Amino acid sequence: MPTYADFDKINLLTVIEGCLINETPLRIGVGRESYLGSAVDIGPLKIRISGRDVPYIPGSSLKGSFRSLAESLARAQGLYVHDPWDFETAEDEKEKNDYCIICGIFGSTGLASHVRIYDAYPRRDPLLFIKTGVSIDRDFRGARPGALFIEQQVIPKIEWYFRMDVINIKLFPEPEEDRGKLLRQVLDLLVNGIVQVGARKTVGYGLLRLTDGVYKVYEIKEGRLKQTRTEAIKGGSQ
Ligand SMILES: [Zn+2]
């Protein structure tokens, strides 16, 4: 019975870094999608750096994409997966201290995440945007079918810094258990440019590719966390 509650001790830390490229336009909005699928938000999330507003990809968005991808991969492999918003099951897992593979990686209400994904900031300046849509009603708050909206997007081929930490799950050089194998599959899809983030996924927006990926492994040796391995992440390994 997997409890996965091993945070009292970090035995193994894997740091994955690299460059994310959005192959297609990217739109990580501040708002939300209406029930009809039409966008109601205005532009990408931005953070103020040195007096300028710079768009970024929130780590939480990346984590959400990785999680749902891992869910579909797990389902395809016949593994048990529950809905991320199924709090009843999450509570049940917490009570029994027996977590599913997805919560065992990404965490749940009862279990901390074994994966930490950082906000991804653009590598170069300036960033360009395109605007689509023309009319906007500032008083309009709900969803109205057929209404047009102003929308800002990040153009394709922008480079973003990527960093992800994985705690106590062995991924490299070879994964040891199911969680490691599943995470490696997600990483492979990222290297192959098949992971999507943000809005408008149905029209192919937000396709991300990981390039120049490097992993570093830190292990406990003689009571201290030591870097034991650094290697490039090769593409298309599966
Ligand atoms: Zn679960």
Q: How far is the CA of 95 from the centre of ligand 1 (A)?
A: 12
Q: How far apart are CA 187 and CA 181, in angstroms?
A: 10
pTM: 0.83
Q: Which two tokens stand for residue 121?
A: 């900031």
CA pair distance 17, 15, nearest whole angstrom: 6
Q: How far is the CA of 102 from the centre of ligand 1 (A)?
A: 6
Distance 136 CA to ligand 1 centre (A): 41
The tens-digit pLDDT sequence of the chain (238 residues) is: 577 878 777 889 999 999 999 999 887 765 443 333 444 344 566 777 777 778 889 899 899 999 999 999 999 999 989 987 888 999 999 999 999 999 999 999 889 999 999 999 998 765 656 555 544 444 555 545 455 555 677 889 999 999 999 999 999 999 999 999 999 999 999 999 999 988 777 778 889 999 999 999 999 888 888 999 999 998 654 4
Q: Rounded to the nearest whole angstrom, what is the distance from the C-alpha of residue 170 to the centroid of ligand 1?
A: 20
Centre of ligand 1 from the C-alpha of residue 84, in Å: 8
- The two structure tokens encoding residue 212: 């120049």
Could you tell me the distance, in angstroms and rounded to a whole number, from the CA of residue 85 to the centre of ligand 1?
Answer: 10
Assess contact for 179 and 105: CB atoms under 8 A: yes
Alpha carbon of 54 to ligand 1 centroid (Å) = 35
Task: Quote the strand ranges of the chain, DSSP E.
Answer: 12-22, 46-49, 52-55, 115-117, 129-132, 151-154, 159-167, 195-196, 207-221, 224-232
11 Cα–ligand 1 center, Å: 23
Phi-psi region of 146 (alpha: psi -120 to 50; beta: other; left: phi over 0): left
**What is the CA(101)–ligand 1 centre distance, in A?**
7
Ligand 1 center to 71 CA (angstroms): 10
CA of 190 to the centre of ligand 1 (A): 23
Ligand 1 mean position, distance from CA 218 (Å):
27
- Centre of ligand 1 from the C-alpha of residue 6, in Å: 16
